[in-house]
Amino acid sequence: MKLPLKPLKIGKIAIRSPIILAPMVDITDLPYRLVCRKAGCQLAYTEMIYIDAIIHENQKTQKLMQTNKTDSPLGIQITGNNLEHFKQAIPILKKYDFVDLNCGCPSERLIKSQAGSFLLNSPKLIHDIISLLKSNGLTVTAKIRLGFKKNNVLEVLKAIESAGADAITVHPRLAIHGYNEKADWQQIKLVKQNTKLPVIANGDILDEDSALSCLQQTGCDAIMVARGAIGDPLIFKRINNYLKTGRKLQVSIKENIKYLNLYLSLCKKYDFTDLSRIKRISCKFIKGFPGSSKIRNDIMLAQSLNEIKNIINKVNID
C-alpha cells in the first residue's frame, strides 16, 4: 500500500522526505549522521546536549556539536532548566538550522538535574525557554513524552504552541515507562487533532510496516526513527521506497557492511576516536549471516579503529 508523503516544513526549512533520524545519545554523532544521510535520511539532530556544557565549552561537548556543510539540515538538541544559561548559549545555537528542546529524556542523571523529561512537570518553564529562543530569531522545536508520571500532554502542547514553536515531536510513553510499554500512537493522533503545528511521531517505528501504520493511525506530518536506525542506516532507504511504491526493497548484508565501512572511514576522517562507542555501533551492523557472532566478538576485542576495519574487510559473504 502506497502512502503519498507531503514535504515537511519546520519554519523556513523544507524537507522532501519526512523520515527523520532521532537524536540518540552515544549514537548520532557526525559520522553516524552522515552515514544515515547517505542512506536517504534528510533531517537529523545532534545528540542531546546539556545547555551548561555548551556555555562552558566542554571539550567533549564541542565534539558532539561538530558538523559540516553536508550535514544539513541539522537541529541541535538541547536540554536544561536555567533560562539565563539558554540566553548565554544563543550565539552558539544560531549556528544550527534549528534548535530542539528535549523534554523527553528519562535518564536518571537528567531527572536529578531537573532537565529532560523532568521539564514536563513545568509547562510554564518549557513555554518560557521556547519563547526566549524564538524571540532571538531561532527556529525551535520540542521533543516531548506524554508526561512525567501522569499524562499532561495537551497542557504541555498548549505551552509549546503558545510559545511560538515551529514543530513538536511526540514520543507516546510516560517518562517512567520503558520500551516494554507499547508506544500509544493514539496519543499522537490526539496531539495532531489539537494543534496546527507539524507533528512528528516517534516510538516503535522499527521497519516499513510500522512506519506506514504510524502515519496512517496518527495522521502525523513526519516520523522519527530511533532504535530501528542503529546499525541499519538503510532503514531510511527502505521506508522511503515502501511509502512511495508499496514494495519492500531487499537489502543485502553486503550492502550493510559497505555502510559500516563508510561509518568507520568517517570516524577516522573526522577524528571520532571513542573506541567503545565505535565497537558497539559496528556490532549492530553485523547480523544475519553465518559466522556473524564470531565477527562481533572479534570487533569487541579489537584494540584500534584500523583493527576493526581489517576485521570487516576480511568478511566473506557470498
Instruction: Please name the residue that has the C-alpha cell 517505528.
Output: 205
Q: What SS3 class is residue 60?
A: helix
Type and span of the H or E element at 211? helix 208-218
**Residue 105: active-site member:** yes
Are 142 and 202 in contact by the 8 Å Cβ rule? The answer is no
Angle at 145 between CA 139 and CA 101, to 5 degrees: 25
Q: How are the residues of the chain apportioned to helix, strand and coil, as percentages rounded to the nearest 5? A: 45, 15, 40
Quick one: 137 exposed, middle or buried, by C-beta within 10 A (0-12, 13-18, 19+)? Answer: exposed
- Which of 36, 41, 103, 105 is flagged as catalytic? 105
What sign does the dihedral 17-94-144-29 (CA atoms) show?
positive
**From CA 288, how far away is CA 267, in angstroms rounded?**
24
Q: What are phi and psi of 101, to 5 degrees?
A: -85, 120
The beta-carbon contacts of 105-108 under 8 Å, at least 24 apart in sequence, are 105/25, 105/48, 105/79, 106/145, 106/175, 106/176, 107/25
Catalytic sites, residue numbers: 105
